[in-house]
Amino acid sequence: MNETEWLKYLKKYLFEGSEVVKSKNEDCAVIKISKNKYLLFTTDALVEKVHFDLKYTSFFELGKKLAISNLSDIAAMGGEPRWGLLTLGSPSPIQISWIDPLMEGIVSALKTFGAYLIGGDTVKSSAFFLNLALLGETKNPILRKGAVPGDLIFVSKPLGESSAFLRLKKEKSLEEIPDTIKKAHLSPEPEITLGKLLSKYKLATSMIDISDGLLIDLWRICEENEVGAELFEEKIPVGEFATLEEALSGGEDYALLFTVKKENIKKLQELSSKLNKKLFQIGVITEKKKIYLVKDSEKKVTSPKGFDHFSS
C-alpha cells in the first residue's frame, strides 16, 4: 500500500461518535468537550534520513521544525495550540551538546504561539527520530469538509521554496543557497494567527495545511466534498527560486489552503489588510471531480502528485 491507500484502510479502525466529532480525513482529531469548545489532537514524526539530514540541519532547527509541523496542523483547524508530548528515539546515549539546542528549538517554537511541552517518552532505537503529539483547542473547528462549487480557493504564502532548497543543496554549497530558501525549509512559520482569525470570523468553508504538496492536499479537500477544482496557473504564487512543479507538488510549505464563499471576499480582504499579509486567490471549486490546471483558457487535467512515504 502507498500512503494514500494506507490512510484509507486505516479509517475502519478509527472511532467517531457523539463526542469525537472527527477522527478521519483531517489534520487533527476533533473532540467536543462542551457546547462551545473543541479539543484538537495531532501528532507528527521526523526520522533521520527520511525527513532531515544533520549534515545541513542544526539540532535547534530540527526541534523547531518538529514543533512547526504540529503547529501547522492546529492552524489548519483554526485552533489555539496548548500542550505537547515528545517522544525521542536515539541509537546512542543522549548528549547535552545536542539535546539542549534540540529542546530549545521545540520549546521556543511552541512558546511563541502559547503552547508548552508537558511530558513525553524516550527510547533506544536503530534510527534517530522525534515525535511530537500536540493538543489544541478552538470554539469553531474548520474542517476539510464544507467546500462547494463556486467557492474560491486561496493559499496563504508563496509555494515551492522548501522543495527548492532540497534541489539547490544538490547543486550548490549550503553557503551559496539564499537565506530565504534555507529558512523556508529549515525554519518555516506556521500560520496560527491566520487560522485562528479565519475560524473566529467563520470565513473559510474548508481548510487544510500544505504539507505534502498543493495538488495532493487540494485533492484531499475535493475528495472529502465530492467536488473538483480549477487552478489558474498564472495566479499560483511560485516562491523565489522555485519552479511551478515544486509549487504544485513539492510539499513542506506549511501554508494554509482554504476555500471562501464569494460573498465573503470583502471580509477576507479586510482581514488580509488587518494582518498586513497577502493572501493568494488561485482557483475555484467546481462540480467536476477532477483538478484542472488552467493556462491561457486551456484546461489540463492534473494528477494529485505530492509527497508519499510509501510511493514506489
Q: pTM of this prediction?
A: 0.92
CA 109: distance to chain centroid? Answer: 16
pLDDT at 307: 52
pLDDT at 308: 52
pLDDT at 23: 75
Q: What are phi and psi of 66, to 5 degrees?
A: -60, -45
**Rounded to an integer, what distance in angstroms lies between the CA atom of residue 69 and that of residue 110?**
11
Domains of the chain: 14-138 (3.30.1330.10), 152-302 (3.90.650.10)
Closest CA to 9 of 24, 19, 22: 24
Reduced DSSP (H G I as helix, E B as strand, rest coil) percent helix, strand, coil of the chain, to 5: 35, 30, 35
pLDDT at 155: 99
Q: Please identify every stretch of the chain with a pLDDT value under 70, giving residue numbers as ranges.
A: 305-312
Report yes or no: 78 and 51 within 8 Å, Cβ to Cβ.
no
pLDDT at 311: 56
- As a dihedral over the C-alpha atoms of residue 212, residue 241, residue 301, residue 257, rounded to 10 degrees, the angle is 50
Q: Which three cell numbers stand for residue 120?
A: 513525553
Q: What is the pLDDT of residues 151-207, one digit of tens each?
A: 999 999 999 999 999 999 999 988 899 999 999 999 999 999 999 999 999 999 999
pLDDT at 241: 94
Closest CA to 282 of 134, 111, 133, 157: 157
